[in-house]
């Protein structure tokens, strides 16, 4: 997918379209409840966008569990029991080794660079190939993105790598591989399951998302130390999955309108996170007794070196991971010519 091509195709389709097709209604499960700001509202916003511009297709939004549980959405869309899903590929890490490379990459690209690779380089094509080559009958479309998440909520202050050893922690995607190497026992829990697990002591710590989103889930009631930066998720990409038979049954205009609605959703999803999280950080401190913590440079260096080891091993074990990883690294090396030159240096403490 190339952004310019989509825009031109949509313009052409609108110009040449005749009478509107009969409306087709697609049931869409979301990985995130609509009560969650930024994460959950993005799925709702996408549905509002597409339904306001399309004459041939309409989406109906369902919260996690109403049609299928969060972690079963890929299989459900592929087998046709659900038409579509708004989710993130990081949830399929246990099924497809390369999946999280299309969701969030530790010490990887931030939002602008990630979108550049996805929309104007090889990312989108490789994203679809990943599902095709693993036997999933889905069409995938990038449909949201957020800036870095927090690195985690801990009940006790973490002063060294030794303080991590033996912890049970909810962790997402490729970052979980790093934490396990460092002595943390990780599990992937859906958003609604995290607070009960913290409360009953099944987990000692958690990461989930941004401060505003995490505040809605109440982690601050139990874990008072919130760590930054989110090295494991410098940006997180979200996907729209549509059953491929359903997708191919749509007319070209409807397909283009879905793609354009997703591109618009990427913009509003990213902007909402950037606009609202600083207030949540301050509220956590002033009202919830949270201490915002920054990882020491030496611990970040350990996280990064461990990630490099994990990435090398995954590439050695899985040919498609290796192919995607090499492509992303090649793009990033070229991007440095621009990124390291044009942007102001970041302030350091």
Report how far residue 103's alpha carbon sits from residue 323's, in angstroms, rounded to the nearest whole number: 16
Structure-derived torsion over alpha carbons of residues 259, 174, 187, 167, reported in degrees to the nearest 10: -140
| Coil/strand/helix, residue 9 | helix
Is 208 one of the annotated binding-site residues? Answer: yes
Spatial contact of 191 and 33, defined as CB atoms under 8 Å apart: yes
Task: Describe the chain by its helix, strand, coil percentages, rounded to 5.
Answer: 55, 15, 30
Report how far residue 53's alpha carbon sits from residue 85's, in angstroms, rounded to the nearest whole number: 19
Beta strands in 105-256 (DSSP E): 138-146, 152-154, 168-170, 185-187, 205-206, 225-228, 236-243
Could you give the C-alpha distances from 25 to 43, 46, 51, in angstroms and in order? 16, 14, 10
Is 170 one of the annotated binding-site residues? Answer: yes
Spatial contact of 172 and 155, defined as CB atoms under 8 Å apart: no
Q: What is the largest CA-CA distance in the chain?
A: 67
Is 225 one of the annotated binding-site residues? Answer: no
R_g over Cα of the chain = 20
Report how far residue 188's alpha carbon sits from residue 186's, in angstroms, rounded to the nearest whole number: 7
Residues annotated in a binding site for Na(+) = 208
Extract the annotated binding site: 149, 170, 207-208, 233
For the annotated binding site for substrate, the residues are: 149, 170, 207, 233
């Amino acid at each position: 997918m190339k952004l310019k091509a989509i825009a031109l195709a949509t313009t052409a389709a609108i110009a040449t379209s005749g009478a509107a097709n009969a409306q087709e209604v697609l049931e869409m499960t979301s990985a995130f409840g609509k009560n969650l700001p930024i994460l959950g509202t993005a799925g709702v916003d996408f549905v509002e966008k597409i339904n306001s511009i399309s004459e041939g297709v309409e989406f109906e939004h369902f919260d996690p569990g109403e049609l299928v549980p969060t972690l079963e959405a890929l299989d459900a869309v592929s087998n046709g029991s659900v038409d579509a899903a708004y989710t993130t590929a990081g949830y399929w890490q246990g099924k497809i080794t390369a999946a999280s490379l299309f969701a969030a990459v530790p010490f990887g690209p931030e939002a602008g660079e990630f979108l550049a690779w996805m929309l104007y380089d090889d990312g989108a094509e490789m994203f679809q190939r990943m599902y095709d080559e693993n036997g999933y009958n889905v069409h995938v479309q990038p449909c949201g993105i957020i800036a870095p998440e927090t690195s985690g909520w801990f009940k006790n202050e973490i002063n060294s790598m030794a303080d991590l050893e033996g912890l049970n922690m909810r962790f997402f995607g490729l970052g979980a591989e790093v934490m396990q190497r460092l002595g943390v026992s990780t599990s992937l829990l859906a958003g609604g399951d995290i607070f009960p697990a913290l409360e009953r002591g099944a987990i000692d710590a958690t990461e989930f998302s941004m401060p505003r989103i995490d505040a809605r889930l109440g982690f601050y009631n139990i874990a008072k130390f919130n760590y930054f930066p989110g090295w494991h998720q410098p940006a997180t990409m979200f996907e729209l999955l549509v059953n491929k038979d359903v997708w191919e049954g749509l007319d070209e205009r409807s397909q283009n309108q879905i793609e354009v609605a997703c591109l618009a959703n990427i913009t509003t999803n990213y902007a909402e996170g950037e606009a609202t999280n600083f207030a949540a950080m301050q509220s956590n401190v002033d009202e919830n007794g949270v201490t915002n913590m920054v990882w020491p440079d030496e611990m970040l260096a350990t996280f990064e070196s461990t990630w490099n080891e994990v990435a090398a091993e995954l590439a050695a074990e899985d040919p498609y991971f290796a192919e995607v990883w090499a492509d992303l690294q090649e793009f990033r090396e070229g991007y440095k010519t621009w990124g390291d030159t044009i942007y102001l240096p970041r302030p350091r403490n």
